[in-house]
Amino acid sequence: MEKALPTAMMRYTIVSTAYRLFAGTFLVVINWQIATAEGGGYWRLVVSTLLSYLPALAVPLVLRRITISGQLLSVLSLLYVAMIAFVVSFLVENPTGLVVANLFMWIGFFSLEASWESWFNEEKRRQDVSWASSVTMSANQAALMIGPLLAPVIIGLVGTRGIVQALTAGFVLVAAFSWPGAGAAAVPATADEPEAEAEAEAAAGPPVKPAAPRRLIATFALVWPVLGAFNLMLPLQVSDRGAGLVAVAVVDACLGIGVIVSGVLSARTRLSSPTLSKLVIACTVLGGVLWALPTGGAAVIAMALSTFALGTGFGALRIALREYTATHHDSAVTGHAVALGNATAIPVLAVVFLVLGAAQPLVWIAPFVLVLVMSYSFQGCRTWIASLKI
């Protein structure tokens, strides 16, 4: 029997997907501008990437003191992102200005990453968590795939400043449709939560927010390093191999296609922990081998297949992570784990970039290794080692 998302979750899926479409387009445009600017290169993009993670240090402290819902926090963060994007539209020819503006933009991005997860958890009583996680993750990744593909075409029509201004309007529209009063209904009390119990909980006062498990924080701490390392190496590697922005968009899109494939697989079948580990390991190793192939006329094809394999393994891991947090933890713990994980991502990325700075041609290996480490962290030592046995 075909499953369907409830109205509230459908709304969440649509607005979060639209946000990914605009955010993915914005990032590929800005990173390409920084990487290809005169006098640019590895270290400028490294500085930009590391600076963009500094706000993650403050976000956990702020979110721990915020009592508004994840949905309302998403709205406020979207409006902030729109404001910064408007400023960025006037700095597209200034690489130094882009690096600074990108820093402020990521305050909103990190806040949104935590708020989207919290909002998802707020809706989890309305649907099968596994199915909803797969559908929303697949839709989000489809948007991240389409955005970079459209970027070269739109830039050809309206220019770089024009596309950033269009993205500004897009963020504002997403905020408007995300507003709690725009068709959203409160979650009604369920049969197993009678009014007497709800009144007793209210009389007891607000509960103390529980701390997130360390293993969960460690796993979330590797989500952004994977994406950050990928976003760093992609324009550098593609330009070094003689290709342009269109090739960047195609290779980046294949990462999203891989995540979509993993979402379809996860939606149709529940993967056991050993099976999930084997899938992640096999896809990641295959992707690394394909990227390491000698460059030539088929370089873009090899890179595309490589990122597809990486996306499949990484996507399956993220879907399983979202399902686990929604099933075993409430929205407060999830938001806390995401925020602390984002903060921990800074030293992880710094170490990775500094080590690879001495061997820049090998920068491509970072996202593949980080996915394997993320799988180890999430699955645990015993399951992960067992998955290595044939």
- Digit-coded pLDDT (tens) for 9-30: 778 888 888 998 899 889 888 8
CB-CB neighbours of 41 under 10 Å: 14
89's tokens? 């539209």
- What span, in angstroms and rounded, lies between the C-alpha atoms of 353 and 39? 19
State which H helix or E strand residue 35 sits in. Answer: helix 7-36
375, 280 Cβ separation under 8 angstroms: yes
Helix, strand, coil percent values for the chain (each to nearest 5): 80, 0, 20
pTM of the model: 0.67
**CA dist 297 → 252, 300, 302 (Å):** 19, 8, 10
375, 281 Cβ separation under 8 angstroms: yes
- What span, in angstroms and rounded, lies between the C-alpha atoms of 88 and 97? 8
- What span, in angstroms and rounded, lies between the C-alpha atoms of 255 and 330? 30
**CA dist 124 → 59, 67, 213, 223, 325 (Å):** 24, 19, 20, 22, 11
**HSE (CB half, 13 Å, CA atoms) of 84?**
22
What local confidence, expressed as pLDDT, does residue 79 receive?
94
Report which of 77, 97, 95 is spatially closest to residue 87, judged by C-alpha positions: 97
Phi-psi region of 130 (alpha: psi -120 to 50; beta: other; left: phi over 0): alpha
Residues of the chain with pLDDT under 50: 1-2, 183-207, 381-382, 390
Q: Is the dihedral of CA 202, 208, 212, 214 positive or negative?
A: negative
What local confidence, expressed as pLDDT, does residue 380 receive?
67
What local confidence, expressed as pLDDT, does residue 110 receive?
82
98-134 burial code (b ≥16 CB/10 A, e <16):
bbebbbbbbbbbbbbbbbbbbbbbbbbebbebbbbbb
The residues, any chain, with a CB within 8 Å of residue 294's CB and separated by 6 or more, are none
Distance of CA 245 to the CA centre of its chain: 21
CB-CB neighbours of 197 under 10 Å: 11
- What span, in angstroms and rounded, lies between the C-alpha atoms of 203 and 88? 48
The residues, any chain, with a CB within 8 Å of residue 332's CB and separated by 6 or more, are 118, 209, 210
The residues, any chain, with a CB within 8 Å of residue 41's CB and separated by 6 or more, are 35, 236
